Amino acid sequence: MQTVIRQLGRVDYLPTYAAMQAFTAARNPTNTDDETLQPNQDERDELWICEHLPIYTQGLAGKSDHVLNPGNIPVVQTDRGGQVTYHGPGQVVAYPLIDLKRAGYFVKEYVYRIEEAVIKTLAHFGVTGHRVSGAPGIYVRLDDPFAHAALSGPAHPGDRFRGLGKIAALGIKVSRHCTYHGVALNVAMDLEPFTRINPCGYAGLQTTDLSTIGVSASWQEAADVLGQKLGTYLAA
């Protein structure tokens, strides 16, 4: 079934968060563990694409000591997985509202498909995205983000982010087989707020965006490409 893509523009975080929860709660209650019940085939999945005003969001596992100096930027507790991250203007945020039971794949593959969509979005702009084992999201080589070579294994665990910048963060929630929250791709934003937290719980983790690594792309262009790639890779 085709996913409905909704471009929301620049919106406040809290009302959008509440809307995701309401959308998911209102979905057909047949999304339960009762295998005799079937999902409503007329109920479409949606993908919300938006941009937020400055805000820090904490995941369920978020620790307060990872928020170093929020200043005047609000910190909001959420029900997604993961630790603290930052949302702000110049970042494309995508919220897939997908029925995984109907789609026919599980959470691990769902995360892989989101990351693959981001990697393919970066490839559209000539950038090579990388996964780092045990650290969800997508990373780029800061010294040569356009190089195609795979990452080599770190000398020890403390080296795994050496030379890398995080360009996309991922945090999800699954309720009754249905997903919300999602992924954020940094396009052209003020990166300073990331220095006031331990991004995703990793002290000293560098973050970057397309603009910083030399890609000139508008927010809308990046939003259109990411939306198209997510629509393709999340399809059943």
Question: Would strands 85-87 and 55-58 be described as parallel, antiparallel, or unpaired?
Answer: antiparallel
Distance (Å) of CA 158 to CA 83, 120, 166: 19, 28, 16
Question: Would strands 178-186 and 135-141 be described as parallel, antiparallel, or unpaired?
Answer: unpaired
Active-site position among 118, 200, 226, 230: 200
* CB neighbour list of residue 71: distance below 8 Å, 6 or more residues apart: 196
List beta partners, residue 139. 130, 166
**Whose CA is closest to 98, among 204, 174, 166, 15?**
174
200 is known as an active-site residue: yes
Could you give the residue numbers annotated as active site? Answer: 200
